[in-house]
Amino acid sequence: MNISSTKKYKQLRLSIAAALCLGSPLLPGTAAAVAAGSDAQKVAPPSALSAKIDSKAREIESKLIAWRRDIHEHPELGNQEKRTAKLVADHLRSLGMDVKTGVAVTGVVGVLKGGKPGPVVALRADMDALPVKEQVDVPFASKATGTFLGKPVDVMHACGHDTHTAMLMATAEVLASMKDELPGTVKFIFQPAEETPADFEPDGTNTWGAKQMIAEGVMDNPKVDAVFGLHVSSSYEAGKLYWRSGPAMAAADQFWVDVKGRQTHGARPWQGVDPIVVGSQIVMGLQTIISRQSNLALEPAVITVGTFHAGNRMNIVPEDAAMTGTVRTYDEGMKKDIHQRIKHTAESIATSANASAKVKVVELYNAVVNPPDFTEKMGPTLRRVAGEGNYDLQPKSSASEDFSFYQQKAPGMFFYLGVTPKGKDLSKAAPNHSPHFYVDESAMITGVRAMSNLAVDFLSMK
């Protein structure tokens, strides 16, 4: 996840990491500011249970931190979260919930039935870690190793999913303590592999994480009426909340371009077809899809060619060149259009040079879009939880999140929780996915209060 922005307009750090999940915010515009202000900065009045939520959260804060440290010290890669899943499942059972395990490989789902009738709200956390070697000097730093795509790797919770899991465990405990007073049902979703699984690469036929949880029925029985999720971010000060209405995080898609030329001697290129030169033209051509052909006044978009492989010797024109890349978009129509143009551009450039290009585009994650009416309804709760001066408009992020798939099944809202210690220069804070990614644990109680209050306020709405 993540790269950083301090105050809304001050910085722009674009860096599209290979990994998914959070990323750099793009410059927010006037339209965005208007959208975020559309609910007129309303603050919800305290609910019947909000004081109780706050005191219960405070009461279990030391447990929350202990869970987070334990999970942090024992990170597990996507679809391998066995230890974490057991910790979660044991905890949910101890709270008296119906618990399902092994959902989408290692996912855990707990259902808390309130004492009064009402709707169903889902709260979601992700449990997976990343192939990163931790460089943070804390006593509970990870020394864990794992296997990623067949290779041994060090493993670290460099995206903060350890905090998400711990915060949702604490939220479960808070809400279970007021079970009889809850007007409806709360579903706790602990999903694996948000960052993709450790044992396979996406190829357009496989599913994982949120998508697989949904395929296995997590949004049904009982049917979920609303869903909430959060992500910790180094871009913001510890304990502050950020969100936006409408497109908030980009869709992420992957493409492959395989160029076939004709091999020849490097001294006599006219006797063959050079796939490196053709491939290079394709790289440049793809950039003009964004700069010359996409309506950037509608939404921004990014194409990045991340790998380019060809040849094995300086004086041989090789037969083939192969590249892969990522596309980030916020608008579904623009996304489909860009996919078409990638294919057309690569194939046409290759044809013009008597080469050929095979293009494959696979949709990975949809854009995270917070529905404006739903965001307007729930924003006042987040403002009450954060308190004056502790929330703001989230700039668009060009990274991605598979929370987007839950949002296709029910109204859903995704927001950010800052975790960089107060007073630290936010532009220098190590971003999510960095081996130096650091979490100020004092922020986590705000995450627990936010999730608990969102659940209760949603259930209480008529």
Given the complex with Zn ion, which of 1 and 175 has the nearer CB atom?
1
**Least distance from C-beta 406 to Zn ion, angstroms?**
15
Q: 76, 81, 134, 441: which one is catalytic?
A: 441
What's the rounded Cα separation, in Å, for the pair 209 and 130? 14
**Least distance from C-beta 447 to Zn ion, angstroms?**
14
Which residue lies nearest Zn ion, judged by its C-beta? Answer: 21
What's the rounded Cα separation, in Å, for the pair 275 and 346? 12
Given the complex with Zn ion, which of 245 and 434 has the nearer CB atom?
434
Q: Which token pair is 68? A: 């987070």
How far is the CA of 122 from the CAs of 114, 153, 403, in angstroms? Answer: 13, 34, 12
Nearest to 176 by CA among 410, 456, 450, 384: 456
DSSP-derived secondary structure for 405-440: HHHTTS-EEEEEEEEEPTTS-GGGSPPTTSTT----
Given the complex with Zn ion, which of 124 and 384 has the nearer CB atom?
124
**Least distance from C-beta 433 to Zn ion, angstroms?**
6
Q: Which token pair is 103? A: 């959902």
Given the complex with Zn ion, which of 121 and 159 has the nearer CB atom?
159
> At which residue do the structure tokens 């986590």 appear?
444
Given the complex with Zn ion, which of 21 and 182 has the nearer CB atom?
21
Given the complex with Zn ion, which of 159 and 454 has the nearer CB atom?
159
What's the rounded Cα separation, in Å, for the pair 41 and 372? 14
What's the rounded Cα separation, in Å, for the pair 365 and 218? 18
Q: Which token pair is 262? A: 């004709």
Residues 6+ apart with CB under 8 A from 193: 78, 79, 81, 104, 105, 106, 126, 128, 208, 209, 212
Contact 366, 328 (CB under 8 A): no
- Stated as kind and residue range, the H or E segment containing 383 is helix 372-386
Q: 242, 365, 391, 438: which one is catalytic?
A: 365
**Least distance from C-beta 427 to Zn ion, angstroms?**
20
Given the complex with Zn ion, which of 1 and 85 has the nearer CB atom?
1
What residues make contact with Zn ion under the rule CB under 5 A?
1, 21, 159
Please write down the HEC assignment for all residues of 30-54. Answer: HHHHHHHHHHCCCCCCCCCCHHHHH
What is the edge-to-edge ordering of all strands in the sheet holding 241-243?
98-103, 107-113, 183-191, 116-126, 226-237, 412-420, 241-243, 391-393
**Least distance from C-beta 177 to Zn ion, angstroms?**
28
Would you tell me the crossing angle of helices 50-59 and 161-176 to the nearest 10 degrees? 120
Catalytic-residue membership of 242: no
**Least distance from C-beta 126 to Zn ion, angstroms?**
6
Q: Which token pair is 194? A: 């948000």
**Least distance from C-beta 158 to Zn ion, angstroms?**
7
**Least distance from C-beta 168 to Zn ion, angstroms?**
14
Given the complex with Zn ion, which of 21 and 77 has the nearer CB atom?
21
Catalytic-residue membership of 134: no
Q: Provide the 3-class DSSP secondary structure of residue 343.
A: helix
How far is the CA of 262 from the CAs of 130, 295, 312, 323, 348, in angstroms? Answer: 40, 37, 14, 17, 17
Active site amino acids: 365, 441
